[in-house]
Structure 1
Amino acid sequence: MSAGRALPPAHLAWLVWGLGAALYFIAFYQRVSPAVLTQELTREFRLSAVALGNLSAFYFYSYVAGQIPTGVIADRWGPRKLLTAGAALTAAGTLLFALAPSVAWANAGRLIIGASCGVAFVSMLKLASHWMPAKHFALASSAALLVGVTGATIAGAPMRVAVDAFGWRPVMVASAVATALVAVAIWLIVRDDPSERGYASHFPEAAHDAAPTSVLSDLRQVIGYRNTWLLFIAPGGFSALMLAFCGLWGVPFLVMHYGFTTAHAAMLTSLTLIAWSASGLAYGPLSNRIGRRKPVLIASLAATMAIWAVILFVPGLGPVGLVVLLLALGIAAGGFILVFPFSKESVPARFGGTVSGVTNMGVMFGGLFMQPLVGWVLDSHWRGTVASGGRFYELDAFQSAFSIIFIWGAIALVLLTFTHESYCKQK
């Protein structure tokens, strides 16, 4: 902390963080919007399940590829320029997707969106480490997920209503315009450090004083820590489920086998995501109170997989029971958010952006691999039945496809047991 300077007021700190969060809101909105547009996209571009899964996953391909560069750039050049450019390019990619004459152009739009809005989460965490006390980092991480899931919620039932009223292309054009306005607001208001506004910084002074090193040297140091690798692979145990089910395949599953309308199914998957993110607000304080990250993460993942098994394999679940179980699933999975403070605490503070990028890259692998893989298994089990202009998949097809998620969950549980506890303290 700089002598003679006051710390930034909380409202300003949260405003700066919140503008970064606005892009993360948009990132989640874009991430799950194909789940509500499955019928329109399938009909207009004549897509199979594999092709639809790939269209959705193009977002993840570029999002994942950009995470480590995002972390390195955020550590070295700051998040303000990164967020502004990301929001501007997201607007451009959204416009391209909205006007796409073919699936190739739609894929290109999704690729641009994923790469550009992929800077949001790591940049937000970087801003939090400068503008907020260290004890608030877990809260900021949890709040970030809640903001993101709110974006996913808007991409659920509300977006479905808008699409039914105006069509999917006009809705996506309006989304592009809103994103461009966010880019302008970020550039005008956000600053990398409170010192640029005349306040003292919360970022450790030692990190400011560290001797300059090369990008490759920094990256080698970060990946040299054991927890970096373990917390790169393990988060997929959570995200493979939430991103594959709530992000794409849950809506057709609920429509085909539980009699929900598309709007109601979208609302239910959105509620699951809300439970997931809102529960994260409790996991951070709980973990801080007991001074441990590892046991909370393990318990959360074990409970998540147990509930998922009931949903998938117990027959005769009524609508009420299914709703309760899906909400419980979201609550159990909320502990996933602890991977971010856990990974940050496992390396020196100056590498906070880089390690957050590595960890978030691992999180996104859950969607990148699982969305098209689930689609491939569904297509391999398709029996030629068509309904409402699209393929109809039997229940056993969904059970086979969703069962793959258990493999990742089991691997993640094993890996978490090998992590070194940080005791909620920065390395």
Structure 2
Amino acid sequence: MAWIVWGVGVFAYSVTVMQRTALGVAGLEAADHFRTTPGVVSTLVVVQLFSYAFAQVPIGVLLDRYGSRIMLTAGSLVVAASQVLLGVADDLPLAYLARILLGIGDACMFSSVLRLLPRWFAPARVPVLQQVTGVFAAMGQIASVVLVLPLINGLGWQPGLLIAASLSVIGAAAAAAWVRNAPYGEEVNVVDEPFSKIPRAVASVTRHPATQLGFWVHFTSGFSTNAFLFMWGMPYLIVGQGMTQLEASAYFTLLSVAMAGSGPILGALTARHPLRRSNLALIMIGALIAAWAMVLAWPGRAPTIALVALVLLIAVNGPTTGIGFDFTRTNLPHARLGAANGVVNMGGFIGGTTLVLLMGFFLDQIAGGQAYTADHLRLAWLLQIPFFVVGIAGLLLSRRSLRRRMAAEGIIVPSWREVVERIRSKRAGGDA
């Protein structure tokens, strides 16, 4: 039953991810449909991501109160309605409303699935299953490339989106029928307190250093990936690197497959080395910075191997955001995980949304109403630099606070020098 409950939740979530990323892969088609520029289309993505990010905490509070079953069902129905509205919209105001609804519905999904895991599975399995949940998000991204984009190109804007929306209705029905908040006979474990006390509880959760560290891990590893997936990745590959749409779609498919493959590996490493989770995140973030530096510094079109490396590291940093949720899971009570995970989940989406908005504004300014060039896009991606600086600083500061709190509770994270000395001592003892 545990696998059925989780599997249905993952299906509903992956369909939502397909709806979420559809506008990113069909950004040029959206610009044609609404008779505007890709820069204006990027504001649709910005509205969607802002509504998603700022709905996280209110949705998390509702999740702690009502449980995953209701939230997965309601979220899927709202997502379906949003795609129907986008399909029938012929002007931008309705499109903006559709993306606001999508962001709100989307906010119900991931945290709802995560909240099920500690109730249905043994603790040792949870870190890996968190990442496998993200793997199915990658399947949703692939579906947006291989299903939604061909539907829009083959049948037209409205029929393509209406067919896609029907899958979210199926997800809602499945969640209502099969998802249960806890195994039969066990306490459901939801919050039942006056709404007047909720703001204080949310503030307490937000102040916890584990929540803050989770937020900064999610922010720093997620903003670049989200900006690439949701808006500027496809234009960069097509315009900035001179690819055809088919070639760019192949890179997006590679990204999704790599994201799916790396998730369980990162989950296993997180479970095996719980005191080194933040170091694992920093290694992945550092590798992504190096890949972007190499590609953006390359004159003209970057070599294929450099572009493949960039796409693979963008992919790996997708599941790296999931490490942020492990800090809340192991440091906060289960009844508060909805709100705590909502705060964490805001990180990469606030960062990604802000970057998408800045890049769109910057590109429209330097292009002067003309088509974007490769040099324009190269300069736009350099706007990531302050995001990485702020994110890494926040990560290191919040990690220091959490480690001080852990030390007060008797949990000491040994330094790397101590770890090396311990390994040497064990080897010396073995040789003796």
TM range (shorter): 0.7 to 0.9
> Residues of 2 paired with 1:304 and 1:329: CA distance?
7
2:298 is the alignment partner of 1:322: no
> Residues of 1 paired with 2:220 and 2:24: CA distance?
21
2:217 is the alignment partner of 1:228: no
Residue 243 of structure 1 aligns with an amino acid whose one-letter code is N
Q: Which moved more, 1:41-50 or 1:86-95?
A: 41-50
Q: 1:269 is paired with a residue of what secondary structure?
A: helix
Residue 364 of structure 2 aligns with an amino acid whose one-letter code is D
Gaps of at least 5 residues in structure 2 are: 412-432
- Higher percent of residues as helix: 2
Shift, 1:150, TM fit: 0.9
- CA deviations 1:127-170 (Å, max 9, x no partner) are 11211112222112211111111101111144332222212221
Residue 296 of structure 1 aligns with an amino acid whose one-letter code is L
Whether the 8 Å CA contact 2:217–2:395 is kept in 1: the answer is yes
- CA deviations 1:331-372 (Å, max 9, x no partner) are 355433211112322323321121111101222112321212
Q: 1:331 is paired with a residue of what secondary structure?
A: helix
2:310 is the alignment partner of 1:310: no
Shift, 1:291, TM fit: 2.9
Alignment of 1:202-241 (within 5 A): 214-241=197-224
Q: 2:180 is paired with a residue of what secondary structure?
A: coil
Structure 2 residue corresponding to 1:410, chosen from 389, 404, 408? 389
> Residues of 1 paired with 2:85 and 2:193: CA distance?
40
Alignment of 1:3-402 (within 5 A): 12-195=1-184, 198=185, 214-292=197-275, 293-315=277-299, 316-331=301-316, 334-382=319-367, 384-385=369-370, 391=371, 393-402=372-381
Shift, 1:119, TM fit: 0.4
> Residues of 2 paired with 1:32 and 1:211: CA distance?
35
Shift, 1:212, TM fit: 5.1
> Residues of 2 paired with 1:301 and 1:328: CA distance?
9
Whether the 8 Å CA contact 1:275–1:331 is kept in 2: the answer is yes
Residue 298 of structure 1 aligns with an amino acid whose one-letter code is L
Residue 182 of structure 1 aligns with an amino acid whose one-letter code is G
Q: 1:170 is paired with a residue of what secondary structure?
A: helix
Across the two proteins, how many residue pairs are aligned to each other? 400
> Residues of 1 paired with 2:207 and 2:163: CA distance?
44
Shift, 1:409, TM fit: 1.5
> Residues of 1 paired with 2:310 and 2:386: CA distance?
21
Structure 1 residues 77 and 113: CA distance shift in structure 2, 3 A: same
Q: CA RMSD in A?
A: 2.4
Q: TM-score by structure 2 length? A: 0.86
Q: Which moved more, 1:89-98 or 1:214-223?
A: 214-223
Percent of aligned pairs with the same residue? Answer: 25
Q: Which moved more, 1:299-308 or 1:44-53?
A: 44-53
Whether the 8 Å CA contact 2:222–2:317 is kept in 1: the answer is no
> Residues of 1 paired with 2:283 and 2:253: CA distance?
24
- CA deviations 1:165-214 (Å, max 9, x no partner) are 2122211101121211211111111111112xx4x57x9xxx78x99573
> Residues of 2 paired with 1:190 and 1:325: CA distance?
38
> Residues of 1 paired with 2:62 and 2:376: CA distance?
43
Whether the 8 Å CA contact 2:221–2:320 is kept in 1: the answer is no
Whether the 8 Å CA contact 2:73–2:175 is kept in 1: the answer is yes
- CA deviations 1:297-336 (Å, max 9, x no partner) are 1212111211121122223523344224422442355433
Q: TM-score by structure 1 length? A: 0.87
Residue 239 of structure 1 aligns with an amino acid whose one-letter code is G
Structure 1 residues 302 and 42: CA distance shift in structure 2, 3 A: same
Shift, 1:227, TM fit: 2.9
